[in-house]
Amino acid sequence: MRIERAQMNPLISPLHVTPSSEEMQVVSAFNAAAVTWGDETILMLRVAEMAKPTSEEEVAVPILVHENSRPHVAVRRFQKGTPGLDLSDPRAVIVNGEVLLSTLSHLRLARGKDGYHFDIEKRPAIFPTEPYEEYGIEDPRMTVIEGTAYINYTAVSRYGVCVALASTDDFVTYHKHGVILPPENKNVVIFPERVGEHYVMIHRPATSGLGNQQMWLAYSHDMENWGHHVPLMSKRPGMWDSIRIGAGAVPIKTEHGWLEIYHGVNEQQGYCLGAVLLDLHDPATILARSSIPFLIPETEYERTGFYGNVVFTCGAVVTTRESDPVVHIYYGAADQYTCRADIDLEDILDSLHAPALPVPEVVNLEEVPMQSGIACPLEQ
């Protein structure tokens, strides 16, 4: 398969982005949602900012606080080397077991006509304002339906990691609809049209302890209330998506099915991208899936950065080249930059494999006769 990384990669780096205030510095501009809007490509960037420390020995953590119910950014400051301060993961600041994020993210609009050069707005499009957004808003995905762009994103706070929804009709004013999935959940993509009567989403709840992490489907009549949740697909031990999976770009409608480009994580390669093909009329049916990833962190800008060995997509757009559809995948590289890679749609579809038929499990339990007077273990 031919993967054409843009020669200009990274298309957007933190240096291109104006900080949201004088107290902040932009460290990453990445994981952008992408849509075609008129004759433009619109990206909704995740912009991660650090608070400026007052000395090299200080770690400054920006957090949204509410004073007299008005939100503003406050800074919590810690001295490096303080007992109980864990800075081992650049994404987090752990204080005596309390996990904070080292950066506060907001969403920023970038628009351009050629898909490579983007004008980045000087001010945030959507900024954290709500208590459930106090540690930031991240990883947007955009779905345009009947002239409205729905923007779902990850909202992070002391209450956990959840999914919230906003919308706009003009990319000038934005309306926040609130939380659509409570913690812990992320990596939501909303299909670009109804399937039957319903809006459809893929989401990824976290599992801890019992059970295996899955991507799920959910359905809605109104975009705000989601139900009829069904498990869709899980991590695969020993494969490229063995440690973690999550939906990436908004599903692309093809004549063969819905093409979902998703991320998988494995110990050797880090965050990679592959795809799954879902039935057009019943997206709970998997038709085919990548056995190997098609985008792996390989270049310098993908391997080294704020958090290395990551390619992570939140959006792709499709155009035609000599009448062949080409998928332009916008992706975050090393949690720092916005990049683009082009792949022929047919090449992606050809690379997918039908899932192996499930092997029926032979359950051969010897039946133990019931004995009265012995409590069921679950009741103890």
Q: Interface residues with ligand MAN (CB under 6 A)? A: 31, 138-139, 271, 307, 310, 312, 332, 335
Nearest-approach distance from CB 352 to ligand MAN, in angstroms: 23
Minimum Å gap between C-beta 357 and ligand MAN is 31
- d(Cα 169, Cα 38) in Å, to the nearest integer? 12
Q: Which residues pair with 66 in a beta bridge?
A: 71
Q: What's the gap between Cα 78 and its chain centre?
A: 29
Report, in Å, the least distance between residue 275 CB and ligand MAN: 18
Least distance to ligand MAN, CB of residue 222, Å: 28
CB of 335 to ligand MAN, least distance (A): 5
Nearest approach in angstroms of CB 57 to ligand MAN is: 26
Shortest Å, Cβ 67 to ligand MAN:
28
Residue 339 neighbours by CB under 8 Å, 6+ apart:
5, 6, 9, 10, 11, 301, 302, 311, 330, 331, 332, 333
Task: Give whichever of 31 and 167 is closer to ligand MAN, judged by the CB atom.
Answer: 31
We find the least distance from the C-beta atom of residue 241 to ligand MAN, in angstroms, to be 13
Q: What does the block give as tokens for 350?
A: 């050809």
Adjacency order of strands within the sheet including 85-86: 85-86, 92-95, 98-101
Q: How far apart are CA 317 and CA 295, in angstroms?
A: 16
Give 199 or 312: the residue with its C-beta nearer to ligand MAN: 312
Decide: helix, strand or coil at residue 345: helix
Q: Is 350 helix (H, G, I), strand (E, B) or coil?
A: helix
Q: Dump the DSSP string for 67-121.
A: ETTEEEEEEEEEETT-TTEE-SSTTEEEETTEEEESSEEEEEEEEESSSS--EEP
Least Å distance, CB 202 to ligand MAN, is: 15
Task: Give the nearer residue to ligand MAN in terms of CB position, either 257 or 332.
Answer: 332
Residues 234, 238, 239, 245: is their CA dihedral positive or negative?
positive
351, with CB counted inside 10 A (0-12, 13-18, 19+), is: middle
The residue (of 215 and 352) whose beta carbon lies closer to ligand MAN is: 215
Chain-centroid distance of CA 62 in Å reads 22
CB 140 → ligand MAN: shortest distance, Å?
10
User: H or E element: which one contains 140?
Assistant: strand 136-145
311 in Cβ contact with 301 (< 8 Å): no
What's the CA gap between 233 and 366, in Å, rounded? 32
Helices of type H across the chain: 300-303, 345-351
Closest to ligand MAN by CB, 251 or 332: 332
Beta carbons within 10 angstroms of residue 354's beta carbon:
10
CB closer to ligand MAN out of 192 and 332: 332
| CA–CA gap between residue 98 and residue 178 (Å, rounded) | 25
Nearer to ligand MAN, 180 or 247 (CB): 247
> Taking CB positions, which residue lies at the least distance from ligand MAN?
312
